[in-house]
Amino acid sequence: MIIKTIYSVLLLLLNFSISFGYQVIAGNNAKGKPFINYYSPKVYKSNARNWDITQDPHGIMYFANETGVLEYDGNNWRKIRVPQDKPVRSISIDDRGKLYVCADIDFGYLEPDKKGELQYASLLPFLKEKYHNFGEVSDVKTIDNFAYFKTKDKIFRWDGLSFTVWDSVFAFQLHSINDKIYVRNESIGLMVLEDDELKLIPDGDFFSSTSVSSMLPYGASNAVNDSLLIASYEGGLFLYDYNKFSPFKTEADKYLISNQINNAEVTSNGNFALTTQRGGVVIIDKFGKLVKIIDEKSGLQTNVCYNVFRDKSGGLWLTSEYGINYIKEPSPLSSFKNSGDLKNISNSVYRFKNKIYAATELGPMILKNNDVGFQLLNGSNQPSSVFAEFNDQLFVGTSYGTYLIENNSITKEIINEVTTCILVSDIFPGRIYIGTYNGFSVLEKRGSRLKVVYKKELPDEVINIIEEGDGSLWINGFFPGLISVTGSLNKLSTGSDSSVNYKHFDNSDELPGSVSRIIKNNISPLFITNNGIYTYNKLKQTFEKYSPLSKALSDPPKEAALIANGKNNSIWILAYLKNKPVMGKALMQPDGNYTWQPIPELSLLDLNTVYSIYPDSDPLADSEKLWLSTEDGLVLYDPSIESNSLSNYSTLLRKVTVKQDSIIYYGANNFETDGKVEIEYSKNDIMFEYSAAHYDKPNSTYFKTYLEGEEDGWSGWGLETKKVFTNLSQGDYVFRVTAKNLYGIESNLTSYSFTVLAPWYLTWWAFILYALFTGGTLFSIRKFELDRRDKNNRVRESELKAETAEFQAKAAETQAKLIQADNDRKTKELEEARELQLSMLPKELPDTPDLDIAVYMQTATEVGGDYYDFSIKDDGSLNIALGDATGHGMKAGILVTMMKSLFNANSIDKSVEDFFTSSNRAIKNSKLGRMMMAFAMMNIKNKTVTMANAGIPPVYIYRKQIDKVEEVKNNGLPLGAMKISKYEIFSSKLQTGDIILMLSDGFPELQNENNELYGYGRMIDTFKKSLSDNPEEIIKHLKTAGANWIGDNAPIDDVTFVVIKIK
């Protein structure tokens, strides 16, 4: 008993049996429950009761709720408030996408504000005062760009500018059919609005005392104006041929009349969905045949259903007394979870004499009808696993043995051993093979009985037995490998296997991996392994890949997990593509090869939970269905039922937020900005939130994004519905996003363009101020000198005129004095320019307890662009910067000024890497031509140095503990060289006594009288020789060495040192 129980559990987990048959199937009417997504009030966070439904051109759903308008985009719910949170009874969207709203004693429309957030706008100010006491507004319909509002006794039509009013129209609803407005006027009948006049339609008085709850185009002959279907709340259904009304008889008349029709909709396959006041939703076809009833038994939370709406993908949305439902109807998929006695997993499904049987852990069951569901067979109390048909009788294998099924009951016991599989022989008439937990048995018909004629013990349980055309067998089980049974199997009838050969194949016999399943192919058995699908070549006595099917699974590569024979030599396959399960069918072609036909509709299921699959074929109808046993119950796939699930849909940008809390766009898709979206540099962190207007398992929709101007290309596919970008540089950007739903269909892409403005210190007016300041200073210096020279010249000229004779004798002496004066002027101008350059430098060195710092800068004869600076971050760490602008004179001064501004503004808040990246972009975007800034910056915190280098000479670190000088070479391109540059970050621990030397290229490029450079080698030697306890002394040694090298020559470039010693 224990062994049998354990076996039944293992049997379930390994899904060992696939039952399929090819009997004639007539009246195949098995119908399960539809797939329903329920949205509770806790999900959409509003009142439980909802009334009306509509969808905008972009696919967003809207619901008339008891306290406002609900909006759903497949990802998020939003509530749009109306005055005093009054009930919204009806909503409607016109051709332009404008949503009109009935809000109790108010009516209006929704329009986006300046940020794209939908807000309610009342139309009452446009209605004449005398009409204001109209009571509740109960309905709204739109035709073209006109909106019609219904009150107790009036119709108001809004044309975008003014209202037209029809009085004495006593009705609750309006009906829009074929671009016309119909209304049932109490005590008068059904009327139509034509040429701005309400007219009673022919035979319209038929409804003078009968309500009209819904009107639909009937179109049984596919003509646009063929006829109309009229639903009455209490009277059932009627057809109207535009001359006369007649009752539309259906199989659901009694049910519809007793449960009262609230509304109706045409489904995507032309059926009619009718909501009722107390009976859920009734689906009928155009001939009145009852298709199904969707109610609380089917998964609805309540049978009180108000409205039904078909969306763009063919799904049905349902409003009710309690919550909102999304129903896949029509759908090729239906669920049999909790169908009668069948609660969850089925081990096998079989059709016998047009009846459906299921093998379950509770026992074998039969599907009695769609209302009752599956019921246990009489006498069924044993876990069952497999069915087989033999001599027009049905057998079931259970954990206690094999039994005959007759008259919906378990009757005769055939064998009392655990049955794992049953094979009816095609070669030996009257023979069946039964797999057991320790081998297999051969049974043959003897008179009216089946008798065991042979038993074979094997190492472990048998999972599957397949028979070849010559009568030989293949057996696989829980034991390793495969067993081949060949020879004179007819002799097994005598109980003897002396002429029968058993061969065990394992990996040593070139068995291609672990065999999980064997199926019978029209040519030879197929062996499904973890390495592919194989056949056995008897001539070569080797296993070979089954190339006709392998090709179908190879592009793209797929690994078969479950497999079963279908009609016309097709094969149903559950495979894995890049670790993702996909379901499809391999179709045999005339050349014997197979092609892969995916079945995307099955992606609605969690294919990872599929245990086994069972084809259900009807040869006469040339149709085939598929049963799938999943963790969520038994599912039926009927490919003859078409849905609109594979239609196109839209990706929607729903919210744009800057600086984490400032929303600049709320997602209204008819929202247009006034010009370009510009974002201040101080708010350059931006988050995009997006969704897809597709409602089949929306949490399985994938997205990919691309920020043009920041990223090099598209991201990979992911389930995230938001993307954050931080610290964007100034410039123009376009954010793009697209979606891929669970069926693999990609949406259109949506985009959002914006510009991040430059920081104030990089704006054009800031640079003008920089230029004016620098130019004004230099101009004042020069003007002063020119005025002084002019004055001296005038004095000299006057003296010369007065004393011409005296000065003629001294002409040579006077000429020399003039030359000297001019040289003095130039010298003074250069000195003042140097003073301007030096004014950019820190006035004093930072006072830090752990560091001893000394600096030195010698400007060249012609003013250069060297620069050093310091800043202390909030965490107390020290930033040290050294720069060298390209060129000399005014341009170099402007670049140094800009660099100082960037350092002062950003070095405290940004990391070293972020500072280099943002400064590089800022200088490049400033369009200074070929001007660049060589720059090095380090941060010292807790004796850890972190640095980056953009074109400055290497930084040298004297390591006291090992008495060596380390040369740090992590050079990148100078700032402003390229818009996108990567800068290597160097980080290292420092010890007490370590010394850091930063220098510009002016020192190693000093030239002696022979034009020979001082060079980096001499510089390192000088640094090693100059090490002392005082950074000032180190600089003194370096200065002296440089002066001795150049002699009387003047340096051609600025020379700058920064020396830091770790205390």
CATH number of the domain to which 952 belongs? 3.60.40.10
More confident residue, 355 or 771: 355
Q: Do 805 and 884 fall within a single domain?
A: no
Region 420-447: mean pLDDT is 94
Q: Do 673 and 803 fall within a single domain?
A: no
Q: Do 932 and 798 fall within a single domain?
A: no
Comparing CA positions, the residue from 755, 665, 656, 655 lying closest to residue 710 is 755
Rg (CA), the chain: 44
pLDDT at 901 over 70: yes
Residue 345 has phi, psi (to 5 degrees) of -80, 145
Least confident piece of the model among 57-71, 85-99, 121-135, 1005-1019: 1005-1019
Give domain status of residue 194, yes or no: no
pLDDT at 819 over 70: no
Q: Do 747 and 732 fall within a single domain?
A: yes
More confident residue, 618 or 378: 378
Give domain status of residue 502, yes or no: no
pLDDT at 932 over 90: no
pLDDT at 103 over 80: yes
pLDDT in tens, 476-531: 988 888 999 999 999 999 999 999 999 998 876 677 778 888 988 877 899 888 88
pLDDT at 247 over 90: yes
Residue 1025, amino acid: K
Q: Do 1021 and 876 fall within a single domain?
A: yes
Q: For residue 817, what pLDDT is reported? A: 60
Which of 697, 732, 757 is where one domain is finished?
757
User: Alpha-carbon distance 103 to 269, whole Å?
Assistant: 34
% of the chain exceeding 90 in pLDDT: 59
Which of 147, 168, 189 is where one domain is finished?
168
Give domain status of residue 798, yes or no: yes
Count of beta carbons in the 10 Å neighbourhood of residue 895 = 26
pLDDT at 409 over 80: yes
Q: For residue 11, what pLDDT is reported? A: 38
Q: Give the largest Cα separation in the chain, rounded.
A: 161
Which CATH number characterizes residue 143's domain? 2.130.10.10
Query: Binning pLDDT at 50, 70 and 90, where does residue 1048 land?
Result: confident
Query: Binning pLDDT at 50, 70 and 90, where does residue 838 land?
Result: low
pLDDT at 231 over 80: yes
pLDDT at 833 over 90: no
Give domain status of residue 378, yes or no: no
Q: For residue 506, what pLDDT is reported? A: 82
Residue 791 has phi, psi (to 5 degrees) of -65, -45
Region 560-580: mean pLDDT is 87
Q: For residue 620, what pLDDT is reported? A: 65
Query: Binning pLDDT at 50, 70 and 90, where does residue 807 land?
Result: very low
Give domain status of residue 226, yes or no: no
Q: For residue 802, what pLDDT is reported? A: 63
Q: Do 1005 and 1026 fall within a single domain?
A: yes
Domain enclosing residue 860, as ranges: 840-1062
Q: Do 682 and 722 fall within a single domain?
A: yes
Opening angle at CA 328, ends 566 and 640, nearest 5:
30
Region 39-68: mean pLDDT is 96
Entry pTM: 0.70
pLDDT in tens, 936-948: 999 999 999 999 9
According to DSSP, the residues that pair with 722 across neighbouring strands are: 689
Region 111-115: mean pLDDT is 91
Burial degree of 437 (CB within 10 A; 0-12, 13-18, 19+): buried
Q: For residue 10, what pLDDT is reported? A: 36
Report the SS3 class of residue 985: coil
Total domains, the chain:
4
Least confident piece of the model among 281-295, 455-469, 879-893: 879-893
Strands (E), 267-343: 272-276, 281-284, 290-294, 305-310, 316-320, 324-327, 333-335
Q: For residue 508, what pLDDT is reported? A: 66
Which CATH number characterizes residue 729's domain? 2.60.40.10
Q: For residue 840, what pLDDT is reported? A: 73
Give domain status of residue 146, yes or no: yes
Q: Do 75 and 101 fall within a single domain?
A: yes
Q: What is the mean pLDDT of the chain?
A: 87
Give domain status of residue 472, yes or no: no
Q: For residue 358, what pLDDT is reported? A: 94
Q: For residue 327, what pLDDT is reported? A: 96
Report the SS3 class of residue 845: coil
Evaluated on CA atoms 281, 283, 287, 290, the torsion sign reads: negative
pLDDT at 822 over 60: no
Q: Do 661 and 781 fall within a single domain?
A: no
Region 1011-1024: mean pLDDT is 89
Q: For residue 507, what pLDDT is reported? A: 72
Comparing CA positions, the residue from 1057, 1008, 1055, 999 lying closest to residue 859 is 1055
Query: Binning pLDDT at 50, 70 and 90, where does residue 444 land?
Result: very high
pLDDT at 323 over 50: yes
Query: Binning pLDDT at 50, 70 and 90, where does residue 617 land?
Result: confident
At which residue do the structure tokens 């503004």 appear?
Answer: 905
Give domain status of residue 206, yes or no: no
Least confident piece of the model among 30-39, 279-288, 346-355, 776-785: 776-785
Q: Do 73 and 139 fall within a single domain?
A: yes
Comparing CA positions, the residue from 345, 354, 347, 404 lying closest to residue 379 is 404
Q: For residue 442, what pLDDT is reported? A: 97
Q: For residue 22, what pLDDT is reported? A: 30
Q: For residue 888, what pLDDT is reported? A: 66
- Could you tell me which residues come within 8 angstroms of residue 707 by beta carbon, excluding any fewer than 6 positions away? 723, 725, 733, 734, 735, 736
Q: Do 811 and 892 fall within a single domain?
A: no
Region 943-965: mean pLDDT is 92
Which of 757, 787, 812 is where one domain is finished?
757
At which residue do the structure tokens 């290229």 appear?
Answer: 1001
Q: For residue 837, what pLDDT is reported? A: 59
- Could you tell me which residues come within 8 angstroms of residue 540 by beta carbon, excluding any fewer than 6 positions away? none
pLDDT at 611 over 70: yes
Q: Do 862 and 996 fall within a single domain?
A: yes
Q: For residue 898, what pLDDT is reported? A: 86
